[in-house]
């Protein structure tokens, strides 16, 4: 049995901790605040396996499989809901990108296909479809309240023997971690500290190629019948929400300070998301129920930093806006790698030195 510390009680860290303990390891999770109080609690909870790349498709499929498996109690529910994404008729660049994606997805066994206007209207009666040129559907999709995933996973992890310490910031120390002023020995440390991951490693003299960046979402108080969707031409996504309709976008293409960022939404984002979603879903001036910002993490190539960094030290970050929907599989991958299995080679965090200059690119952009 190995003593393992996981720094970060978000969706990824909790999944990894649970999987490690289930495999027989002695695991402690350190969370600086409350569980899920980082990005997980701010995520939109859009879940799908609609990825074109081979590895991404495998990770996406495995995640949805696990979300379904876990959706049997402990307060977590995977709400099966199809996902449509589309481009406007004059937007040939995005239209052809969607067609290519769908063909690649199908070759990887993803349940996706193109939709004609009649099919799209049948699926989404409230959607304004007149100007849509290309539309696609992924059936293996749904949504959830992300905090309930973290709660469910923490319950499962505790039952499997994981010790979870909340309100306990942790720092890397020689052969272990420093938490609450005391050094505690651990043979292995997994840093899954979300937007703080770079900071946690930097304080111990290690550099990774990751930048936190701000994104935003809101909930409109509106009764609307719709699947989940992404309007690629207008650049926003939406999903049904118990209080109406959740709408997201507002990506800031500059690095945020993981401590000192603005947690409130921008007035500009709220006005424009409300207007665009209102037009697309036939809602006249829908009231905004709430709006918020949160952090995502970018890497130079858009792929995660997931795996071994140096002896006894592993890292899990860099999800480019897609960390929650992939958490069940990403946590599983890192748990397996820690236990000696091979990781996902293109996600190897040592492929970068940490000194790279790179732009922040929106995760969902086509």
Does 8 contact ligand FAD by CB under 6 A?
yes
Compute the least distance from the CB of residue 278 to ligand FAD, in Å. Answer: 19
**Options 42, 66, 198, 211; binder of ligand FAD; rule CB under 6 A:** 42
Stretch that binds ligand FAD, among 26-34, 97-105, 124-132, 347-355 (CB under 6 A): 26-34
Binding mask 133-172 for ligand FAD (x = CB under 6 A): ------------------------------------xx--
For ligand FAD, the binding residue among 17, 18, 27, 32 (CB under 6 A) is: 32
Binding span for ligand FAD by CB under 6 A among 1-9, 19-27, 124-132, 339-347: 1-9
Give the range of 68-76, 263-271, 321-329, 334-342 binding ligand FAD by CB under 6 A: 321-329
CA atoms within 13 A on the CB side of 327: 32
Residue 341: other Cβ atoms inside 10 A: 9
- Per the CB < 8 A criterion, the answer to whether 10 and 36 are in contact is yes
Q: Does 9 bind ligand FAD (CB under 6 A)?
A: yes
Q: Residue ranges of the alpha helices (H) in 261-319? A: 267-280
Stretch that binds ligand FAD, among 34-42, 98-106, 113-121, 345-353 (CB under 6 A): 34-42
Of 44, 102, 124, 222, the residue at the interface with ligand FAD (CB under 6 A) is 44
β-pairing, 26-30 vs 79-80, is unpaired
Number of H helices, E strands in the chain: 8, 20
* Burial label, 180 (beta-carbon count in 10 A; 0-12, 13-18, 19+): exposed
CB-hemisphere CA count at 13 Å for 48?
26
Which residue, chain included where needed, has tokens 């690095």?
A: 255
349 binds ligand FAD (CB under 6 A): no
By CB under 6 A, name the one of 76, 319, 347, 352 that touches ligand FAD: 319
* Exposure string over 78-96, b if 16+ CB within 10 A, otherwise e: bbebbbbbbbbeebeebbe
Under the binding rule (CB under 6 A), the answer on residue 211 touching ligand FAD is no
Residue 115 Cβ vs ligand FAD, minimum distance, rounded to whole Å: 22
Stretch that binds ligand FAD, among 2-10, 54-62, 116-124, 125-133 (CB under 6 A): 2-10
Residues 6+ apart with CB under 8 A from 342: none
* One residue of 19, 21, 28, 40 binding ligand FAD per CB under 6 A: 40
Question: Which of residues 190, 217, 305, 335 is near ligand FAD by CB under 6 A?
Answer: 217
The DSSP result for 152-187, as a single string, is: HHHHHHHHTT-EEE-S--EEEETTEEEETTEEEE-S
DSSP 8-state assignment for residue 38: T
CB of 280 to ligand FAD, least distance (A): 18
Contact 97, 199 (CB under 8 A): no
CA 334 to chain centre: 16
User: Is 241 one of the binding residues for ligand FAD (CB under 6 A)?
Assistant: no
**Which of 322, 332, 337, 349 touches ligand FAD (CB under 6 A)?**
322
Give the Å distances, CA to CA, from 174 to 189, 199, 222, 300. Answer: 11, 17, 53, 29
For ligand FAD (CB under 6 A), the number of binding residues is 41
> How many Å apart are CA 268 and CA 249, to the nearest integer?
11
Site string for ligand FAD, 59-98 (x = CB under 6 A): ----------------------------------------
Question: What does the radius of gyration of the chain's CA atoms come to, in whole angstroms?
Answer: 20
List residues near ligand FAD by CB under 6 A.
7-13, 30-33, 37-40, 42-46, 169-170, 192-196, 200, 215-217, 248, 294-296, 319, 321-325
């Amino acid at each position: 049995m190995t003593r393992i510390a996981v720094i970060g009680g978000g969706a990824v860290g909790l999944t990894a901790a649970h999987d490690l303990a289930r495999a027989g390891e002695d695991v402690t999770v350190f969370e600086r605040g409350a569980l899920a109080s980082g990005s997980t609690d701010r995520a939109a909870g859009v879940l799908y396996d609609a990825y074109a790349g081979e590895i991404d498709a495998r990770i996406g499929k495995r995640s949805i499989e696990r979300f379904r498996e876990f959706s049997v109690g402990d307060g977590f529910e995977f709400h099966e809901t199809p996902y449509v994404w589309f481009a406007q008729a004059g937007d040939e660049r995005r239209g052809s990108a969607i067609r290519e994606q769908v063909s690649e997805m199908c070759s990887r066994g993803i349940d996706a296909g193109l939709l004609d206007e009649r099919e799209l209207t049948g699926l989404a009666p409230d959607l304004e479809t007149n100007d849509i040129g290309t539309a696609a559907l992924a059936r293996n999709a749904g949504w959830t309240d992300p905090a309930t995933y973290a709660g469910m996973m923490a319950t499962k992890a505790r039952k499997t023997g994981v010790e979870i310490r909340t309100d306990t910031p942790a720092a890397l120390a020689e052969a272990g971690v420093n938490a609450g002023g005391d050094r505690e020995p651990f043979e292995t440390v997994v840093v899954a500290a979300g937007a703080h991951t770079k900071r946690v490693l930097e304080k111990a003299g290690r550099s990774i190629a990751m930048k936190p960046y701000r994104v935003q979402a809101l909930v409109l108080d509106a009764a609307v019948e719709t699947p989940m969707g992404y309007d690629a031409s207008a650049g926003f996504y939406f999903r049904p929400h118990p209080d109406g309709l959740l709408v997201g976008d507002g990506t800031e293409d500059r690095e945020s300070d993981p401590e000192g960022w603005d947690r409130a939404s921008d007035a500009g984002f709220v006005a424009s998301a409300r207007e665009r979603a209102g037009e697309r879903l036939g809602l006249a001036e829908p009231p905004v129920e709430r709006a918020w910002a949160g952090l995502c993490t970018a890497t130079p190539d858009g792929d995660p930093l997931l795996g071994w960094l140096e002896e006894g030290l592993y890292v899990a970050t860099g999800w480019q806006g897609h960390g929650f929907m992939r958490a069940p599989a990403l946590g599983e991958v890192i748990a397996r790698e820690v236990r000696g299995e091979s990781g996902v080679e293109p996600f190897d965090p040592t492929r970068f030195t940490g000194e790279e200059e790179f732009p922040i690119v929106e995760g969902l952009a086509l």
